[in-house]
């Protein structure tokens, strides 16, 4: 069954972001990554994918993403 349509409508970028972490994947990448962090901006539908070797590094990736949004887009998540 499809998901119901959301009643939430964003009016600016980074007002709402969706974050998904999945892993560990059964086969790691050449560099040893086996976790995948996906971030999607609800307003623009732009997405970012970050790779991680361990699940414990994900908080640092999210903090770095928030800092990147602040410096590159002059916006708050």
pLDDT at 24 over 90: yes
Long-range contacts formed by 4-13: CB under 8 A, 24+ apart:
8/42, 10/42, 10/43, 11/43, 12/43, 12/75, 13/41, 13/43, 13/44, 13/46, 13/73, 13/75
Q: What is the pLDDT of residues 25-47, one digit of tens each?
A: 999 999 999 999 999 999 999 99
Please give the average per-residue pLDDT across 12-19, as a whole number. 96
pTM of this structure? 0.87
Higher pLDDT, 24 or 9: 24
């Amino acid at each position: 069954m499809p998901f119901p349509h959301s009643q939430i409508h964003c009016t600016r970028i980074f007002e709402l972001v969706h974050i998904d972490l999945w892993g560990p994947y059964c086969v790691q990448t050449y560099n040893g990554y086996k976790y995948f962090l996906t971030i999607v901006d609800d307003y623009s539908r732009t997405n970012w994918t970050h790779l991680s070797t361990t699940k414990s590094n994900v908080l640092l990736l999210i903090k770095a993403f928030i800092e990147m949004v602040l410096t590159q887009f002059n916006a708050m998540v």
